[in-house]
Structure 1
Amino acid sequence: MSLREEIKARIEAEGPLRLHDYMEMCNTAYYASRDPLGRAGDFTTAPEISQMFGEMVGAALADLFLRAGAPADAAYAELGPGRGTLATDALKLLRGVGFKGGVNFVETSPALRREQEKRHPTAVWLETIDNLPERPLMIVANEFFDALPVAQWVGDEERMVALGGDELMLTPDGEVTREESEVSVELMGKLAAHLAQYGGVLLVIDYGYGEGEQGDTLQAVKRHEKVEPLAHPGTSDLTAHVDFAALRTAATEAGARVTPVMTQGTWLETLGLGPRAMSLAGANPAEADNIAAARRRLSSPEGMGTLFKVMAVHHRGWPAPAGLGA
């Protein structure tokens, strides 16, 4: 039975399905069955665009590690690490300043775990954040929270996935007045509590809004094109914009410190994306145009620079990452 037929059967048996539950079913099936990244997949993330992205993340973490006193028991962790590309580039810089800690990946996709293992054969794979080691952690969550389920409301009525004849439909119609991810808030609370107890930092890099804006941001992508969210259950990537204000509140309530939210472009350029691009182009003249294009895509307002945001959550005894302030 296809996922579409499974969803229809569930609605027929139980009634309309929460949008939250629909999204959870779809993305669980989607990530369990494929490597969605790159030209042959459905979307491309920043680490796959250029090594410069992972290098900037690694530079920020390396600097932070040293300013925190180079704790010998610190470890690296990544939530939803894709193919492990970001970790490869970031860990080069971390290892270069003496970091010797282990690597932990929170990943449920068998297909992506196989890709990660090629690059990081000694990593430890975890099913949930509940299994993170009880030690100071440098955690990266790049395009992780956007794939977590959301619920929506039209006025005071929660939006549901129902059947209209033989087709899936969202009800009620009307302007979405509230969208929230209870799962994201719960996970952030757990992560922040871990950092508050054991030390470390969490870098959240994702597309979203920083001041609690509201509205319908649910979208689906298939083969690098936007499609209708109900059109391809389980075979398209469902995401929604991250509510950084809600994450900030959850982290603060759990006892961690939180930095201001910064646009990705401003943060990367502050860390030295421009000089790194020039250095790479000087060493690889034939790739100069591609390197410049990658920089624009990562940092310009027309690319990922403005829509994508960066925020750090950290232990009160640890400094904030460079470029993000206190």
Structure 2
Amino acid sequence: MTPLAGMIAARIRMSGPMRLDDYMRLCLLHPRHGYYATRDPFGAAGDFTTAPEISQMFGEMIGLALAQAWLDQGRPAPFALAEIGPGRGTLMADILRAIRVVPGMAEAARVHLVEASAHLRQIQRARLGAVAHLDDVAELPEMPLFLVANEFFDALPIRQFQRSADGWAERMVTLDDSGALALGLGPALPGPAAPEGQIRETCPDAGPVVSAIAARIAGHGGLAIVIDYGDWDGQGDTFQALRRHRPEDPLAHPGEADLTAHVDFAPLAAAARAAGVRASRRITQGDWLLRLGIAPRAERLAAAGDAGAMAAFHRLTAPGEMGHLFKVLAFWAPGAPVPPGFEPLEN
């Protein structure tokens, strides 16, 4: 049993079953034993690998897409160049390198990183130098905002509800007869009809995050790009854990495994539009990167001697790899042109 597992078990004995979002929040962000508070989880030595760690091409394509949107919106200066959940700072470093080819853009950028982990903040400063670290998107400055969220929303805590014969019951973390963590059900409440056993997930924190970002963009201009795995109006149990690059029981090693759930993009788009910005159709990561020109970029890198360029290209874009698993959504200032690679979401 991990130290955090013991603490959670003691809390359940004292206060009763724990909601899944509370469990996730403790596992990921506990100041002493939380997953992100205690380690660098990225790369071969960690538990998972994100697209920016696979190839510089990923960040370059995003940087150039942001640059085109910045040009299309009249070159606002200064502007906030922001990332939420910035990991090691790899993606932001690649974005900054890419936008330096656009006269005036890098000079106008004010880099802001929304990061909860003190450990990762140190890594980001070492890579990027002086940047503004924020605890919450609500702290983003009142200025034009060009923002990226890559694999951020999947780590936000979720709640799950399961249809039983008597109604909808919330799935809770409790203890089994041996004292080990286990999933159970709370009291059943009335709700819409559905097949017995069906599970629905909600992410209470996602809407407010999108609303805060969209409010900045509606008021000052800009663009937000969200990249994550998930679906549109997704249903079912997607709660999962990854440890040492392998899936495992999310209750097995609290604080020592990455906990995530698939992102439902439909409510993100709805929250953005409700805040006064335009939203895109969801597109697969592979199709979006291909529209942005990653194929010729990979070929040029390969011709210049980058032996891993074509393998990275395949991993980022192929349907059987990250290409179709990950989806991309954008929302942008009303009246501005549609950002590169996207199509507007119409009523």
When normalised by structure 1's length, the TM-score is: 0.96
Which shifted more, 144-153 or 68-77? 68-77
Q: Give CA deviations for 1:234-263 in whole Å, capped at 9, x if unaligned.
A: 110000000000111111111111011100
RMSD, aligned α-carbons: 1.3
Code of the residue aligned with 2:13 in structure 1: it is: E
Return the alpha-carbon distance in structure 2 between the equivalents of residues 21 and 136 of structure 1: 34
- In structure 1, the partner of 2:321 is 303
- In structure 2, the partner of 1:225 is 246
One of 65, 71, 77 as aligned partner of 1:66: 71
Which shifted more, 9-18 or 93-102? 93-102
One of 205, 210, 219 as aligned partner of 1:197: 219
Code of the residue aligned with 1:94 in structure 2: it is: I
One of 259, 266, 274 as aligned partner of 1:238: 259
Return the alpha-carbon distance in structure 1 between the equivalents of residues 126 and 338 of structure 2: 32
Return the alpha-carbon distance in structure 1 between the equivalents of residues 129 and 336 of structure 2: 30
Structure 2 contact 69–340 (Cα < 8 Å) conserved: yes
Structure 1 residue 176 displacement after superposition: 4.1
Return the alpha-carbon distance in structure 2 between the equivalents of residues 269 and 33 of structure 1: 37
Q: Secondary structure of 2:205's match? A: helix
- In structure 2, the partner of 1:20 is 21
Structure 1 contact 312–320 (Cα < 8 Å) conserved: no
- In structure 2, the partner of 1:47 is 52
Return the alpha-carbon distance in structure 2 between the equivalents of residues 126 and 197 of structure 1: 20
Structure 1 residue 325 displacement after superposition: 2.3
- 2:181 aligned with 1:168, yes or no? yes
Structure 1 contact 129–191 (Cα < 8 Å) conserved: yes
Structure 1 contact 77–139 (Cα < 8 Å) conserved: yes
Counterpart mapping for 1:93-112 below 5 A: 93-97=98-102, 98-99=104-105, 100=107, 101-112=109-120
- In structure 2, the partner of 1:119 is 127
Structure 1 residue 317 displacement after superposition: 3.2
Code of the residue aligned with 2:337 in structure 1: it is: P
- In structure 2, the partner of 1:159 is 171
Structure 1 residue 95 displacement after superposition: 2.4
Structure 2 contact 73–221 (Cα < 8 Å) conserved: no
Structure 2 contact 210–271 (Cα < 8 Å) conserved: yes
Structure 1: tracts of 5 or more residues without a match: none
Identical-pair percentage: 51
When normalised by structure 2's length, the TM-score is: 0.90
One of 282, 287, 290 as aligned partner of 1:261: 282
Q: Give CA deviations for 1:100-124 in whole Å, capped at 9, x if unaligned.
A: 2110000111221111111211211
Return the alpha-carbon distance in structure 1 between the equivalents of residues 73 and 98 of structure 2: 16
Return the alpha-carbon distance in structure 1 between the equivalents of residues 280 and 339 of structure 2: 9
Return the alpha-carbon distance in structure 2 between the equivalents of residues 319 and 31 of structure 1: 37
Q: Give CA deviations for 1:179-235 in whole Å, capped at 9, x if unaligned.
A: 11011112112211221112211100000102x020000110001000100001011
